[in-house]
A and B are shown apart, each in its own frame.
Chain A
Amino acid sequence: MTDRVREITYRDAVREAIREALLADPSVFLMGEDVGRYGGCYAVTKGLLDEFGPERIRDTPLSESAFVGAGIGAALGGMRPIVEIMTVNFSLLALDQIVNNAATIRHMSGGQFEVPVVIRMATGAGRQLAAQHSHSLEGWYAHIPGLKVVTPATLEDARFMLAAALADPNPVLIFEHVMLYNRSGVLPADAVPVDIRSAIVRRPGKDLTLVTYGGTLFKTLDAAEILAKEGVGAEVIDLRVLRPLDAETLLASVRKTRRAVIVDEGWRSGSLSAEISARIMEGAFWELDAPVGRVCSAEVPIPYPHHLEEAALPQPAAIVAAAKAALGG
């Protein structure tokens, strides 16, 4: 078995996925700011320009609306574009194209046209990049009918979600948390493709359910480990897909454990965590033994200093505390 596993980083897993897609399908191409000559601002696309050339690895001007819209238009025209936006904060400059075009055209045209575009972007805090590079706005996009929103947290998902996204005829947004790029681990050489439909139980447990995704998955698993040492069995659910939500996996767990805490790096107000809480109320209210708890980012623009940034984000200690509160401790 050992010769069938290999050490790989999340960054390299994403790059392998892009490379595989480019090799597999001539209609796939990549475009975005500094994806070519620079190699990607998080070095994800390093080396791809040399291998595939400037026609398929397209450096764009700093025109988020135009190049995201061009990705949508190219998808309408028969291509399978992968558009990279440096961070979710920059994607706000392309909101018109994503929300008013990508998400609407299939329905508004009576199903005549489809937009099989994949838009990747970095999200989240932890690198002391302050309030215009650190936010977690994926929950906003999960509000929009017509979009699919996925959040690969593990190496397997970083490696294989892209292929599933490209095979999907709908617009798919992939959010890669910035603190995951350097994570490394072993990926089985015969790892199998993944879907972009379902949530998954990352750690089984019987006492309560911790619901999370993306950058907070490993903090939540750390919290579950701490809880285990104290005799509490926390089940950890990785949502993986924020839209459409796999409510069944979520509810099956909550019906079993009867208690839930949601961990989300997004803000609490008007948020994805609020939506998940509501789904639990709608689907498992009578099976709950405690109010649904939430651990979210402090409601502030993410600050620059390390200690303030850490204080603003969900941390294992806060997750453990919320879990204990749900357990009546």
Chain B
Amino acid sequence: MSKASAIKPQLSREHLLGLLAGMVRIRRFEEKCAELYQQEKIRGFLHLYIGEEAIAVGAMQVLTPADAVVATYREHGHALARGVAMDAVMAEMYGKAEGCSGGRGGSMHLFDAPTRFYGGNAIVGGGLPLAVGLALAEKMQRRDGIAACFFGEGAVAEGEFHESLNLAELWRLPLLFVCENNLYAMGTRLERSESQPDIHIKAQSYNVPAEVVDGMDVVAVEAATRRACAAIRGGGGPALLECRTYRFRAHSMFDPQLYRDRAEIEDWKQRDPIDRLALWMRETGTLHDTDLTAIESQIAAEVEHGVVFAESGHWEPVAELTRDVYAGEGVP
């Protein structure tokens, strides 16, 4: 828990338990999703966030309901941590009308207006310009919100990353860029696609303040997000966090993982963000034996409820296929 040491004493047991539960909640939800995928209840692509939970959970602690969030196709964790109801997320995984996007988007396109969750974007880099615009809207309307944009390190190779960082800094927009650097863009390791693999250095070249964060340490992520957001909300313009992390599972359910060694995966699993926090909490006496049992059983019930909710949901009638292509009904 290297960088977090400075703020550890300020962390209450209640808050730490919340962080732990938030990560376990995403983990168990996604484990169930993988199972449901095997059963063909969930179809299409399924990109699991397992291993990276500390980033969404840590960062979301700092965002307020007034802030706007943009994420990628690996966004189940962000939606859950943001406060989108698990029932609605699970129903969306099924494609049911009760889903948070009405079943239209599925795993990659979770949307939720009440929590200002502007999607799962499945074009790598495609969410960054949107976040620039959302931040611009906050600034021009003199509102207090900021935009937070989550994206993988693969997006750094896209022009939209560079254009968006430049524009956000040029216009001093209230925008938090959170790069989730899990080392692999699908099967392409960072060093095989970037001449400069230190992403925070790229941000600095646009004069965007950037920090490298241990993305396997939820407390470090929260602390770094607090620092960045304080600066952003104070009118300092955008900031970028490069959170170094690792996905424990395949890129999607179709990925045989020929591009990385088993040993590397096992090595990163030693840094599992859930185990790390739990271990540290035990050492500091903030996690009692019954806590994890209680968390697990509560989450198991919530996941089970989500499955029942999704199973009992209904399919959108085919007659509604063209609804919401345009505002109003019936535009061909």
Contact = CB atoms under 8 A, between A and B. Distances in A.
B119 interface: yes
29 contacts: A61-B167, A65-B160, A66-B129, A66-B167, A67-B163, A68-B129, A69-B160, A76-B133, A76-B134, A77-B68, A77-B133, A77-B136, A81-B133, A97-B129, A97-B130, A100-B126, A106-B324, A106-B326, A106-B327, A108-B119, A109-B109, A109-B119, A110-B100, A110-B103, A112-B101, A112-B102, A112-B111, A112-B112, A113-B118
A325 B305 CA distance: 70
Nearest to A99: B123
A100 B123 contact: yes
B111 A78 contact: no
A29 interface: yes
A78 B141 contact: yes
A70 B132 CA distance: 5
Interface string A95-118: 011001100011111111110000
When A and B form their complex, which 6 residue pairs have the shortest distance between CB atoms, in order from nearest?
A73-B133, A69-B129, A110-B102, A77-B137, A66-B163, A109-B111
Contacts of A71: 133
B202 interface: no
A168 to B, nearest CB: 8
Nearest to A103: B325
B256 interface: no
Interface centre among A77, A78, A96, A112 (most CB of B within 10 A): A77
A145 B325 contact: yes
Contacts of A70: 129-130, 132-133, 136, 167
Contacts of A73: 70, 118, 129-137, 147
A169 B324 contact: no
Contacts of B68: 76-77
B7 interface: no
Given A63-B163, A108-B104, A109-B109, A72 B130 contact: yes
A96 B133 contact: no
Given A61-B163, A72-B130, A73-B136, A105 B119 contact: yes
A141 to B, nearest CB: 15
B323 interface: yes
Given A73-B70, A77-B141, A110-B103, 6 more contacts: A63-B166, A69-B128, A70-B167, A96-B126, A101-B123, A112-B111
Contacts of B121: 100-101
Interface of B: 68, 70, 99-105, 109, 111-113, 118-119, 121, 123, 126, 128-138, 140-141, 147, 159-160, 163-164, 166-167, 170-171, 323-327, 331-332
B260 to A, nearest CB: 29
Contacts of B134: 73-74, 76-77
Interface of A: 27, 29, 55, 58, 60-61, 63, 65-79, 81, 96-97, 100-101, 105-114, 145-146, 148, 168-170, 244
A262 B111 CA distance: 42
Given A73-B129, A169-B327, A244 B332 contact: yes
A102 to B, nearest CB: 10
Among B104, B123, B170, residue most surrounded by chain A Cβ atoms (within 10 Å):
B104
A108 B327 contact: no
B105 A108 contact: yes
A259 B104 CA distance: 43
Given A110-B102, A110-B324, A76 B137 contact: yes
Nearest to A111: B324
B101 A109 contact: yes
Nearest to B123: A100
Secondary structure of the B contact surface, majority rule: mixed
Contacts of A67: 129, 163, 167
A110 B119 CA distance: 12
A108 B111 contact: yes
A80 B68 CA distance: 18
Q: Which of B103, B130, B140, B327 has the most CB of A within 10 A?
A: B130
A128 to B, nearest CB: 30
A107 B102 CA distance: 9
Contacts of A74: 133-134, 136-137, 140
Nearest to A74: B133
A97 B126 contact: yes
B58 to A, nearest CB: 24
Contacts of B123: 96, 100-101
Among the interface residues A27, A79, A110, A145, which one has the most CB atoms of the partner chain B within 10 A?
A: A110
B129 A65 contact: yes
A146 B325 contact: yes
B136 A79 contact: yes
Given A73-B131, A107-B325, A66 B166 contact: yes
Contact of B101 (A76, A108, A169): A108
Nearest to A110: B102
B161 to A, nearest CB: 9
A203 B164 CA distance: 48
A109 B110 CA distance: 7
Contacts of B126: 69, 96-97, 100-101
A93 to B, nearest CB: 8
B133 A110 contact: no
B162 to A, nearest CB: 8
Contacts of A108: 101, 104-105, 109, 111, 119
Given A77-B137, A106-B324, A63 B130 contact: no
B132 A66 contact: yes
A63 B147 CA distance: 20
Contacts of B137: 73-74, 76-79
Nearest to A70: B133
A105 B166 CA distance: 25
Given A66-B166, A69-B160, A170-B327, A110 B104 contact: yes
